[in-house]
Amino acid sequence: MTKLKTLLLLVLASFILVACGSDEEEAVVEAEVVDPRADDKAALALSLVDQGVVMDSTDVDCVVNVVSENLDDDAWTLLNLFIEFENNGDLDPISEFILENDIDEDAIDEAIETAVENAEVECEVDLG
């Protein structure tokens, strides 16, 4: 009987440890999730506000998130390089990126246009 009680206590302790341990692991995983595009999104949002394209902060966040979701890494990088070009007038980074990554400029332009159109529909704004 003593062995049965010991076995039951060990099983109960195991359940408690597993249950507590899984909560901690989920909390750690949640804390480690960071948006790698956060800085670029902030720059795009600032650019949209500076140009007077979007005024409402909720609309800006919506537009930036929809555009980000609809662009692959190459298109997103080029979009941000164009924003930098508007600020400093230097075309070299854009040219270098296109050449180094063998970018199809027409495909990227189409992807960006589609992302902007999707943002206009989803966020109910006119970015034209």
What's the pLDDT at 11? 52
Domain residue spans in the chain?
Answer: 1-33, 38-123
Question: What is the model's pLDDT at position 68?
Answer: 97
Confidence of residue 128 (pLDDT cuts 50, 70, 90): confident
Predicted local confidence at residue 76, as pLDDT = 96
Predicted confidence (pLDDT) per residue in 21-46, tens digit? 655 555 555 667 789 999 999 999 99
Helix (H, G, I), strand (E, B) or coil at 86: helix
Give the N- to C-terminal CA distance of the chain in Å, as an integer: 80
Answer whether 31's CB lies under 8 Å from 58's CB: no
Cα-only R_g, the chain = 24
Separation CA 28–CA 65 (nearest Å): 25
What integer pLDDT is reported at residue 16 of this predicted model? 63
Q: Which of 83, 57, 59 is nearest to 71 (CA)?
A: 83
Instruction: For 62-121, write each residue's pLDDT tens digit.
Output: 999 999 999 999 999 999 999 999 889 999 999 999 999 999 999 999 999 999 999 999
Q: How far apart are CA 117 and CA 107, in angstroms?
A: 15
